[in-house]
Amino acid sequence: MEFFESIKKLLFPPRCVFCRGIIEEGTVCKRCEASLPRCGRVKTGGEFFSKCVAPLYYLGDVRKALLRYKFNGKTSCAPAFAALMAESVREELSGEYDLITWVPVSPQRLRKRGYDQSKLLAEHTAALLGQRVTPLLRKSRHTAANSSLEGREARAANILGAYEVTDPAACQGKRVLLIDDIYTTGATMSECSRMLLMAGAEDVVCAVAAAKRNTK
């Protein structure tokens, strides 16, 4: 077994999630680890959610890595992003949530992509926090990708009514940690949070892998 693992490593050496450079072990090289654009809290007192945190800004190699993860099937990136997200959640949101869920993709997009990138992030992040995810939301209406639209108003209109809560009893009186991949305008987080609050959730806090630098 060790022989085959050595051959595999020789033929397919591990690479840094961000710069794609060859590394001995792990998922992030030391150079990237030291130079990553660290973010922290994104927004406090947002529309329908209390807080949103992110470990990184969505730019440079971080942006490229997330695009590879989201659109090019690089699911091996999920553990690296989840480790950074779990760190942010521990530092910023400890004791502020009762359960963890995610922003789901539509069935059509799931069939095309083959995986739900936010669900993977939520599962890996929850595991690192010693918890499990609770499925609460479903995207009941397929929409154009919000990334293809300009401005918060257009994005909010695009997804209005696109999500529904599948298990209201599970979130009744609970504080929910909602996980997604990227925070740009906050429209998707707000719409999902609105539905969770309408279903009886007490509060919603959010965590993402990266956020745009100009987010406030």
pLDDT tens per residue across all 216 residues of the chain = 554 445 555 556 888 999 999 888 888 999 999 999 998 777 766 789 999 999 999 999 999 999 999 999 899 999 999 999 999 999 999 999 999 999 999 999 999 999 999 999 999 999 999 999 999 999 988 887 766 667 777 877 777 788 999 999 999 999 999 999 999 888 899 999 999 999 999 999 999 999 998 754
140-145 contacts at long range (C-beta below 8 A, 24 or more positions apart):
140/164, 141/106, 142/106, 142/107, 142/108, 142/109, 143/106
Report yes or no on 53 lying in a domain: yes
Is 184 inside any structural domain?
yes
Within a domain: 6: no
Q: What is the per-residue pLDDT for 172?
A: 96
DSSP conformational letter for 25: S
- Which pLDDT does position 1 carry in this prediction? 54
Residue 61: how many other CB atoms lie within 10 Å: 17
In a domain, 112, yes or no: yes
How confident is the model at residue 68, as a pLDDT? 94
**Residue 16 falls within a domain, yes or no?**
no
Structural domain including 102 reads 37-211
pLDDT at 153: 76
List the CATH number of the domain containing 181.
3.40.50.2020
Cα–Cα distance, 206 to 170 (Å, whole number): 18
Q: Which two tokens stand for residue 61?
A: 């190699």
pLDDT of res. 111: 93
Residue 85 lies in a domain: yes
For residue 26, being part of any structural domain is answered with no
Q: 208 CB contacts (<8 Å, ≥6 apart)?
A: 42, 52, 53, 54, 85, 179, 180, 181, 182, 183, 189
Please count the structural domains in the chain: 1
**pLDDT for the residue numbered 27:** 87
Distances (CA, A) of 119 to 1, 38, 198: 32, 23, 22
pLDDT on residue 7: 52
In a domain, 28, yes or no: no
